[in-house]
Amino acid sequence: MYCKNCGSALDNNAAVCIHCGVPNGHGERFCSNCGAEVAPGAAVCMACGYSLSAQKVAAPGAKSKMTAGLLGIFLGAFGVHNFYLGYKGKAIAQLLITLLSCFMLSEVSAIWGLIEGIMLLSGSINTDADGNPLGD
Ligand SMILES: [Zn+2]
Ligand SMILES: [Zn+2]
């Protein structure tokens, strides 16, 4: 495995990276599976497909990204997915765009919600408004 902070090869049993001194498993700049550099917050390593979010285990009762994604795709014009996740500001904005325009601008919110729905399903958005990891 590899240091997630500096990307150098690590002994599986090493508690601390001998190169940068960061505890094994800490950092989010490199893939611990193949050592490739990854974008901060990326869900999956682009080089090997290893799930980087595996360490962020969803708590029992975590909100479902599947539910949120589908809400965004089908009811995004009303901000339902953002109400569900607790992103109240965005949710109210999407709802108001739709309602205040008497649905004339509902497509704006709908497309916004659709994009967020897809990002939720693909894991690009993977936490709720409180920063809790989403479940499946
Ligand atoms: Zn290191
Ligand atoms: Zn990798």
Residue 91 lies in a domain: yes
Residue 31 lies in a domain: yes
**Mind listing the pLDDT tens digit for each residue in 60-98?**
788 999 999 999 999 999 999 999 999 999 999 999 999
Burial bucket for residue 108 (CB in 10 Å: 0-12, 13-18, 19+): middle
Ligand found nearest the CA of 16 = 1
Residue 132 lies in a domain: no
Residue 82 lies in a domain: yes
Domain housing 7:
1-55
Query: How many domains are there within the chain?
Result: 2
pTM exceeds 0.75: no
Categorise residue 93: left if φ over 0, alpha if ψ from -120 to 50, beta otherwise: alpha
pLDDT score at 55 = 52
- Whether 37 and 85 map to the same domain: the answer is no
Helix (H, G, I), strand (E, B) or coil at 9: strand
- Whether 13 and 47 map to the same domain: the answer is yes
Rounded to the nearest angstrom, the distance between the alpha carbon of 52 and the centre of ligand 2 is 8
Rounded to the nearest angstrom, the distance between the alpha carbon of 66 and the centre of ligand 2 is 25
